[in-house]
Chain A
Amino acid sequence: QSALTQPASVSGSPGQSITISCTGTSSDVGGYNYVSWYQQHPGKAPKLMIYDVSNRPSGVSNRFSGSKSGNTASLTISGLQAEDEADYYCSSYTSSSTLVVFGGGTKVTVL
């Protein structure tokens, strides 16, 4: 069982917006602004999409945005495109000795 909880799947039609949640505790998501989001296409390594809750690395589309409220972080993909179909993982710093925890992943399907 993963330390952070994500929905197993989320789907949307092209052009729509979807939101993926990532729920933790006050020891990780809620306590620090060190939440990251990664995109992973089948057979590929993950790619950083969001860091520090809401910041985008250079080169990442502004259709991807992040936010946080309490112990839950969220990734929103607007203007959904076929290429966005992938697995998405959240991660967070944690005050436990683990230091880094991941969510179980969310499969995004573009209908």
Chain B
Amino acid sequence: QLQLQESGSGLVKPSQTLSLTCAVSGGSISSGGYSWSWIRQPPGKGLEWIGYIYRSGSTNYNPSLKSRVTLSVDRSKNQFSLRLTSVTAADTAVYYCARAGDYGDYTVDYWGQGTLVTVSS
């Protein structure tokens, strides 16, 4: 059974960089046909797709965040990561890592449990 686990700083100061890592277990991030995504959910609000990355390293980002987001994959550690620069209070959210592929390129079938990141001084 595939499992995804987010880790990283839960508190980030405004203007600094948010960094999160998603450890993948029960499967290989190098397996073909899957994309690895980050999705966030501000408290009490809906879901927002941040971007996804393939095992090859090719990426696609939400245009509204593109200038501040970088996704990367570390196949040796079986994990992928998110960096979001110049954060503001609007970036406060639960951040989920996720996988798509078994049910289509744009359908998430596995989610991490989510990690709350608060942007505050």
Would A46 and B112 count as touching, CB distance under 8 A?
Answer: no
B interface residues, how many (CB within 8 angstroms): 21
A102 touches B108 (CB 8 A): no
In contact, B103 and A89 (Cβ under 8 angstroms): no
Q: Are B47 and A89 in contact (CB under 8 A)?
A: yes
Question: In the complex, which residues of chain A have a beta carbon less than 8 angstroms from the beta carbon of B47?
Answer: 38, 46, 89, 91, 102, 105
Given A46-B47, A102-B47, A97-B63 contact (CB < 8 Å): yes
Using CB atoms, name the residue of chain B closest to A93.
Answer: B106
Inter-subunit contact B49/A102 (CB<8 Å) = yes
**Interface residue? B80 (CB, 8 A):** no
Interface: B48 (CB within 8 A): yes
**Size band of the interface chain A makes with B:** 20 to 34
Q: Which residues of A contact B26 (CB under 8 A)?
A: none
Interface pair A91/B106, CB less than 8 Å apart: yes
Q: A82 within 8 Å of B by Cβ?
A: no
Per the 8 Å Cβ criterion, residues 45-72 of A in contact with B are 45-48, 51-52, 55, 57
Return the contact of A57 from the options B45, B49, B62, B103 (Cβ within 8 A). B103
Show 16 residue pairs from A and B whose CB-CB distance is below 8 angstroms, ordered by the A residue. Answer: A34-B104, A36-B107, A45-B113, A46-B96, A46-B111, A48-B107, A57-B103, A57-B109, A89-B46, A92-B106, A98-B49, A98-B62, A99-B60, A103-B46, A104-B45, A104-B46
Question: A-B pairs with the 7 shortest C-beta distances?
Answer: A45-B111, A51-B103, A102-B47, A100-B49, A51-B107, A93-B106, A104-B46
